Structure 1
């Protein structure tokens, strides 16, 4: 990353595992002060990273995080809204209760809305900033039997991100979306293990069936670092004319351009 980014302050939500950890590590390695949030502390501390425990499904968390960041560092330059999870059971509309819908929307949509609302005033005052909202390919290719409420929440995140990008561009703030496909994360591994147990098949068989079902031309899941590579570029000065865009990183699974 360009040295101009050194000394800046970044927030990565859900930054202790998987994609979030890969992003946080890359930004730290570029000389950026990184704040990470999650419900549980990281297994090991990393130089250049400051941890704030938080459950972003809870409305009050965003203001608490924003207050601590601005109180400690006095600025915020980069926001990576990575918090998200497919929390609901599979099986389609009849299996989803109001609680399932609410949990998915709080975690996957409102968490980002609240964080941005709490920190954008500081970016506007600085007249600079970058926001990357992590969505999913399932927002454009929803699977009714597995991702109905999750996909809906992330589709809302996509629409919100485009509107926000248009609103804050005049303040020197850029907003983009990165939509990963299948990524080899701890959550994905847990999902595959659980599906294998419930289906009485091996994890390898489930892994192959998921790849086949989503028709991934590259034929494998992404590594978290491959998602982080794009995010790191988007927050850098090299991407200063890019805003309001949704980037798919899915190994070619999305069947349209």
Structure 2
């Protein structure tokens, strides 16, 4: 049996598309024959066949509007929207150090870009009668780390709830909406964090990884996920092979969440 995903000729927009999971999603979709716009605050100057970069600050309404307009102009529409953008710069110290500015920053990083881009691009998807939206959330909306990720986890929980509600509204109109919730993923940023923790604890990189895994309550698989593994899952969900999947959440965390 052929396992052609049937994605050739599709048009996709991927946010956070130059690093980590986002870059892996872009590569996976390109390999499947998709034309991709990859967006980030800063982008490479050189493009390749089937790949266009757009620089935009998606933490602002203006940046989201600009990106949506460019995507519609360059591609004539979008079949796939993968909202990967996310992260946290909040300080450690629990709830007391999270002032209004920190809360607003986390929401503008992890919730509002998806809301704004969906709102801008969904009308065209509905008009064409088909489309797929992937919201990359996080297992931290289930397992928050109170010292440093309360606001991030709350923003991701809001994204998950919004995504579920949106799926109920637009799935009957031909647009599938799916959540993908990674655990710890071994991106360049995650490697750097493990190395910082290792240096502070006087151990090596593997020791730094163990510190992180212990903080998460352990990863039964024994290692973090790789960006390419998350990207392959997303690419499959985007494909006609997954045509019956909408409104669901897929956790990819090596077994970290003990009850899902």
**SS of residue paired to 1:41:** coil
Superposition CA RMSD, Å: 1.6
Structure 1: distance between partners of 2:98 and 2:6? 47
- The offset of 1:5, in angstroms, is 1.8
Does 2:43 correspond to 1:35?
Answer: no
Instruction: Report the TM-score, using the length of structure 1 for normalisation.
Output: 0.95
Match of 1:18 in 2: 20
Does 2:102 correspond to 1:100?
Answer: yes
Structure 2: distance between partners of 1:187 and 1:124? 36
**SS of residue paired to 1:10:** strand
- The offset of 1:204, in angstroms, is 3.4
Match of 1:77 in 2: 79
Match of 1:189 in 2: 191
Match of 1:254 in 2: 257
Q: Is the 8 A contact 2:21 2:228 kept in 1?
A: yes
Q: Is the 8 A contact 1:2 1:237 kept in 2?
A: no
**SS of residue paired to 2:61:** coil
Q: Which residue of 215, 220, 225 maps to 1:217?
A: 220
Q: Is the 8 A contact 2:197 2:211 kept in 1?
A: no
Structure 2: distance between partners of 1:141 and 1:22? 25
Gaps of 5+ in 2: none
Q: Using a 3 Å threshold, how does the CA distance of structure 1 residues 63 and 96 change in structure 2: closer, same or farther?
A: same
> Following superposition of structure 1 onto structure 2, how do residues 42-53 of structure 1 map, counting pairs within 5 Å?
42=44, 45-53=47-55
Match of 1:54 in 2: 56
Q: Which residue of 109, 129, 132 maps to 1:130?
A: 132
Q: Is the 8 A contact 1:15 1:37 kept in 2?
A: yes
Does 2:247 correspond to 1:244?
Answer: yes
Structure 2: distance between partners of 1:42 and 1:191? 24
Q: Using a 3 Å threshold, how does the CA distance of structure 1 residues 3 and 254 change in structure 2: closer, same or farther?
A: closer
**Comparing 87-96 and 51-60, the one that deviates more:** 87-96
Deviations 1:11-40 (A, max 9, x none): 000000110011100101111100000011
**SS of residue paired to 2:117:** helix
Match of 1:160 in 2: 162
Q: Is the 8 A contact 1:37 1:54 kept in 2?
A: yes
Aligned residues: 257
Deviations 1:78-117 (A, max 9, x none): 0000000122112211122211111111010001100111
Structure 2: distance between partners of 1:90 and 1:157? 22
Q: Using a 3 Å threshold, how does the CA distance of structure 1 residues 149 and 237 change in structure 2: closer, same or farther?
A: same
Instruction: Report the TM-score, using the length of structure 2 for normalisation.
Output: 0.94
Does 2:107 correspond to 1:66?
Answer: no
Structure 2: distance between partners of 1:241 and 1:96? 41
Gaps of 5+ in 1: none
